[in-house]
Amino acid sequence: MLTLDQTLKLAKGNLKIYHDLRVEADREITEKLTFCVPDMHLLEKGLTDDFFQGKQENEDRFLALLDFLLALKKKEGDRMEIVQLGDMMDLWQAKWNANGIVAAYPSIVGLMEKIRTVYVVGNHDIDLWRWYHAQGETFGRTWRHNVTVGGKIRAMVEHGFQADFFNNQGSWTGLLGKEVTKIVGMMEYIYPDIDEQLSAVWDGIVRVFSKYNVFTPKNDPGGFNAHEYLKYYLDLLQRYNAGVAYDQFGPGDVDLSLAVIGHTHQARLVQMPRDGRPYYLMDCGSWVSGGHELGIIAGKDMALCTWG
The answer to whether position 194 is within a domain reads no
Chain mean position to CA 2: 23
In a domain, 293, yes or no: yes
Q: Which of 72, 157, 156 is nearest to 111 (CA)?
A: 72
For residue 210, the model assigns a pLDDT of: 45
Q: What is the mean pLDDT of residues 291-304?
A: 98
Q: What is the pLDDT of residue 195?
A: 52
**What span, in angstroms and rounded, lies between the C-alpha atoms of 308 and 292?**
8
Residue scoring higher pLDDT (247 or 149): 149
Q: Partners of 261 in the beta sheet?
A: 283
pLDDT of residue 217: 34
Is pLDDT above 80 for 208? no
**Stretch 189-200: mean pLDDT:** 51
Q: What per-residue confidence (pLDDT) applies to 38?
A: 98
CA angle (297 as vertex; 109, 236 as ends), nearest 5: 95
Between helix 174-188 and helix 194-212 the angle, nearest 10°, is: 150
Distance CA 298, CA 203 (A): 34
pLDDT at 150 over 60: yes
pLDDT at 77 > cutoff 80: yes
The one-letter amino acid code at 219 reads: N
pLDDT at 95: 85
- In a domain, residue 12? The reply is yes
Alpha-carbon dihedral angle through residues 178, 181, 182, 184, given to the nearest 10 degrees: 160
The answer as to whether 77 is a domain residue is yes
Mean pLDDT of the chain: 82
Alpha helices in 249-307 (DSSP H): none
The answer as to whether 216 is a domain residue is no
- Please give the average per-residue pLDDT across 58-87, as a whole number: 97
Q: How far apart are CA 176 and CA 168, in angstroms?
A: 10
Rounded-to-5 percentages of helix, strand, coil across the chain: 35, 25, 40
Residue 257: closest CA among 1, 4, 26:
26
The closest of 19, 26, 15 to 301, measured between CA atoms, is 26
CATH of residue 95: 3.60.21.10
Using the predicted structure, report yes or no on whether residue 190 has a pLDDT greater than 70.
no
Lowest mean pLDDT of 30-44, 70-84, 169-183, 261-275, name the range. 169-183
Q: Is the pLDDT of residue 247 over 90?
A: no
Q: Check if the beta carbon of residue 59 is closer than 8 Å to that of residue 52.
A: yes
- Nearest Cα to 146, choosing from 246, 285, 256? 256
Pairwise pLDDT comparison (247 vs 107), residue with the higher score: 107
**Are the beta carbons of 296 and 269 closer than 8 angstroms?**
no
Q: Is residue 169 part of a domain?
A: no
Report the number of distinct structural domains present in the chain: 1
Cβ-in-10-Å burial (0-12, 13-18, 19+) of 280 comes to: buried
Structural domain boundaries, residue 42: 4-164+229-307
Residue 231: its pLDDT value, please?
A: 85
Instruction: Work out the average pLDDT over 230-235.
Output: 88
Do 300 and 50 contact (CB within 8 A), yes or no? no
pLDDT at 192: 52
Listed in sequence order, the residues at least 6 apart from 156 whose beta carbon sits closer than 8 Å to its beta carbon are 144, 145, 146, 147, 236, 237, 240, 256, 258, 259, 260
Give yes or no for residue 52 having a pLDDT over 60.
yes
Any domain includes 92: yes
* CB 148 within 8 Å of CB 31: yes
| pTM flag (> 0.85) | no
Between CA 307 and CA 287 the distance in angstroms is 10
Sign of the alpha-carbon torsion through 254, 151, 118, 130: negative
- Of 55-59, 92-96, 195-199, where does the model show the most confidence? 55-59
Q: Which of 45-49, 181-185, 271-275 has the lowest mean pLDDT?
A: 181-185
271 has a pLDDT exceeding 70:
yes
The answer to the question of residue 223 being in a domain is: no
